[in-house]
Structure 1
Amino acid sequence: DPNIKVYYDSTLSRAVNINSEVNKRISKSLLHLEDYVTMSKIRRESSFYLSIASSRPI
């Protein structure tokens, strides 16, 4: 169906545009973003270990 192809192409180009816009914003605030990523990674790992510890019988 050509309509689906047109829709897919426009969605794809919109995604690419959004992605490049996001990249521009990220490069402006890169250090801040790296801190945020590190913190969220640490938080995710700690909650993961907490869930393992709480599910394991003592």
Structure 2
Amino acid sequence: MGRACTSEDEAERLRALGRYHLLDTPREQDFDEIAEAAAELCETPIAVVNLVSDGRQFFKAEVVT
């Protein structure tokens, strides 16, 4: 069993997310392809790439077939 997430882990995750500078950016083909691959792999009609920040969720890519 994995270890529990701590507030320190969450703070580091949020710092890393900030370093990527991806929130509030336009769609990108690479992320669209990740969503398409996820939908195909999971055999689902919908797949998304979400980035979860402190108190918000940003949809970077989505595919609906």
Same fold by TM-score greater than 0.5:
no
Structure number with the higher strand fraction is 2
Normalising by structure 2, report the TM-score. 0.36
Rg: which structure is higher? 1
Structure number with the higher helix fraction is 1
Normalising by structure 1, report the TM-score. 0.38
